Amino acid sequence: MNLNLLEELKSINPKNPGGWPFPVKIGAFAAIFLAVVAVGAVFDWQGQWETRNNIMQEEEKLKETFLVKKKQAINLDIIKKQLTETQQSFGALLKQLPNKSEMDALLTDINQAGLGRGLQFELFRPGGEVVTGVFAEQPITLRVTGNYDDIGKFSSDISQLPRIVTLNDISINPAGAQLSMDAMAKTYRYLDEDELAAQKKPSKPAGANK
């Protein structure tokens, strides 16, 4: 039977499909049908494959965006925490600065710190304030005489005052049987609201009408 089928296939005229045996026609039709289905499937799957690739690429982009946003959110929390800590530290430092009405009392405290250690003030001269931003720096030129131990304790007492006072440009020299210390004490105060408002006002140009 297989030999007969092979003989029939050999005798088929490709240019005359109508004369083909019925089984050959069925087989040819089935082959054509399968080929059409296969080609259609390939074209259809190609579109779906491209869609799938696009979806996967979009998914990767969304993942990257999510990770970036997550990192930013974590950093934002850290920054907020650091800002809160900075504000608290700044508030604590601000409390160590006297206001304008407290400056006279602070100058008295510095003077009393020296007298309390038995030092003799040869010079105690507050200078003009230097305004920097929201603060004003008050320099005080000092010259005290006493023994080494008392001068050292006076310097320590200055650092222990409840308000911020620093000693700068310190120079210690013999003064007879004692020592003489020259220094520039600096303290700071914060500007009040009126002073801050005055700073923000634009200065009038020379020759402008009042």
The CATH number that domain 100-197 falls under is 3.30.70.60
Distance between first and last Cα of the chain: 125
Strongest mean pLDDT among 92-101, 110-119, 198-207: 110-119
pLDDT band, very low/low/confident/very high, at 134 (cuts 50, 70, 90): confident
pLDDT-derived band at 13 (thresholds 50, 70, 90) equals low
* Angstrom distance (rounded) from CA 15 to CA 182: 123
More confident site: 60 or 21: 60
pLDDT of the residue at 92: 59
Q: Please check the confidence at residue 205 and state whether its pLDDT lies above 60.
A: no
Query: The tokens 């259809």 sit on which residue?
Result: 44
The pTM of the full predicted model, rounded to 2 decimals, is: 0.49
Domain boundaries, the chain: 1-95, 100-197
